[in-house]
Amino acid sequence: FENTKKNFPSNEIDKLVSFFDDLLDLNKSLEKTCNPILWNKIKEIWAALEKSNPSIEVHFCGNTMEMQNGEKERANASLSKYKYFNVHHHSLDTIVNYFVERKNSVIDEQLQIVDKDYFDRTDGSIRGLICTVEASEIVRIITNPENPKEVRKEIFNDNVRVYLSRTNKINRRIIETALSDRSPLFWYLNNGITVTCDSFSYIKGKRAPLVELKNIQIVNGGQTSNALFEASLNSEERLEDVLILVRIIETKSQPVSLAIAESTNSQTPIKSRDLRSNDDIQKKLEEAFEGMGLFYDRKDGQHSNQPKSVRVDALSAGQAHLAYSLDLPEVAKKDRGRIFSDLYETVFTDELMADELLASIKVLSVIENKKKLLQSSIRKEEKFNSAHMFLIDGAYHVLFAVGQICDAKGVDRLNYQKAITFVPAAIKYISAMVEKAQRDDASFSFNRYFKDAKTKTKIAAYIQGMEKGL
């Protein structure tokens, strides 16, 4: 505990600078001083540095105290020789502030309601107003007065979520809908926005009244608000036909306001998996697994009260099926989210049998157990077979390789008891291929190797040659 009161150790600066010198010089001797996981990450960094305009963010984090000012200046000066480095210093207090920071500014705003589309009610000390407003009104109140190209973040201080930008699939759809010919449907397609305030007032009975809001916070709908802001930067005029539902809640009680923020944000959107959970094929699979004494989770956590040993997760089964039965290990590895979206009809065909999924997950479970044992040994700094390091990134390719061995030996892939006996051979074959690839490519990384679609073709050809004794 006493160590938490100490400043950041200054000798770590010299170690870090020395490390960066070796890193940027592509010094291969780093392999001798790094554990296998760090060494693999170093090679991924080298690959990233080959791209244009890279940047490296360096964070110095102490237990409680920051570096002393003199050491901080020395760290900044030592790293300033690298042109694309950004240095950040943190103490326990500054880290905590990232999570609990609340700006004291009080935001008072106005919202113009559309026509007479509003409903007001009161329950004790809480008032509510449900109304329709133009999207441009939301954009206006969240725009930073000092910089119209930015959102004023303090209006979302009580919102439990952080905006995920247009790279998030849902936010991208919000922007696309708002800017498309379907923009008049936005009111029907979006859940709307929830606002809390200390008080609101307006002239009742008036058409298109102006609502005065004191100390406003957007506690739900932050993604929608920010997405509309991004859409307005793209094409402000395209938002003219966009209307949005707004719920305004008046309460001076901070606990009540936070409870509203928590409850409205806990009602998560329906995932694509849940939308597919009632498909006929999913119900048929559930019945088939039930006949085997197993519980098939069409929905996430559907049978959470049952032991893991008798549960089959639809998403995990789909991943295993992609690698084992459909020969798409690279897709299973990197595109898990597509299984219940654009790959759904590919994975869950009408002809799919529960036996196929069962065989896939049974073989994968053996591979995953070996992977977990490897990871455990690395964490505990116990002896392990370094030639098997690829299992951390390449488990689905081992599963694919088992399927290839089955084909070469004329064994039905559904015979998972027999297929499981081929796991050691699959690991041996891929280990040999990885070793060769590492010799041929100084910047080799497991992650890049197993994401490459060409890798499975090489594995298939290698196994065919080995099994035929070529």
pLDDT digits (tens, 9 = 90+) for 92-113: 777 766 665 554 578 999 999 9
Last residue of a domain, one of 67, 82, 100: 100
Number of domains comprising the chain: 3
Task: Kindly report the backbone phi and psi dihedral angles of residue 176, in degrees, each rounded to the nearest multiple of 5, phi listed first.
Answer: -60, -40
CA nearest 135: which of 111, 116, 152, 154?
A: 111
| DSSP conformational letter for 52 | S
pLDDT at 169: 63
Q: Can you give the residue range of the structural domain that contains 226? A: 109-266
Could you read off the pLDDT of 187-217 as tens digits, one per residue?
A: 998 989 999 999 999 999 899 999 999 999 9
pLDDT at 263: 66
Could you read off the pLDDT of 371-424 as tens digits, one per residue?
A: 999 999 988 888 899 899 999 999 999 999 999 999 999 999 999 999 999 999
Q: Are 127 and 237 in a shared domain?
A: yes
Q: Are 285 and 235 in a shared domain?
A: no
Model confidence at 159: pLDDT above 80:
no
Which two tokens mark 413?
A: 């892939």
Last residue of a domain, one of 100, 121, 153: 100
pLDDT at 269: 53
Q: Are 225 and 357 in a shared domain?
A: no
Model confidence at 164: pLDDT above 70:
no
pLDDT at 95: 74
Mean pLDDT throughout 6-30? 83
Q: Are 128 and 243 in a shared domain?
A: yes
Per-chain mean pLDDT for the chain: 87
Q: Are 203 and 323 in a shared domain?
A: no
Which two tokens mark 375?
A: 């990871």
Q: Are 123 and 91 in a shared domain?
A: no
Q: Are 393 and 437 in a shared domain?
A: yes
d(CA 366, CA 398): 11
Model confidence at 270: pLDDT above 60:
no
Stronger pLDDT, 344 or 91, i.e. the higher one: 344
Q: Are 114 and 18 in a shared domain?
A: no
Q: Are 296 and 193 in a shared domain?
A: no
pLDDT at 301: 84
Q: Are 254 and 302 in a shared domain?
A: no
Mean pLDDT throughout 154-165? 69
Task: Kindly report the backbone phi and psi dihedral angles of residue 159, in degrees, each rounded to the nearest multiple of 5, phi listed first.
Answer: -85, 130
d(CA 229, CA 213): 20
Q: Are 95 and 117 in a shared domain?
A: no
pLDDT at 372: 94
Last residue of a domain, one of 33, 68, 100: 100
* pLDDT tier for residue 306 given thresholds of 50, 70 and 90: very high
Looking at the chain, how many residues does it have? Answer: 470
Q: Are 166 and 46 in a shared domain?
A: no
| DSSP conformational letter for 246 | E
pLDDT at 398: 98
Contact yes or no for 462/433 (Cβ under 8 A): yes
d(CA 17, CA 36): 21
Q: Give the pTM.
A: 0.56
Question: Ranked by mean pLDDT, which of 32-41, 67-76, 443-452 comes out on top?
Answer: 443-452
d(CA 426, CA 449): 17
pLDDT at 1: 45
Beta strands, E only, 25-125: 56-61, 85-90, 109-123
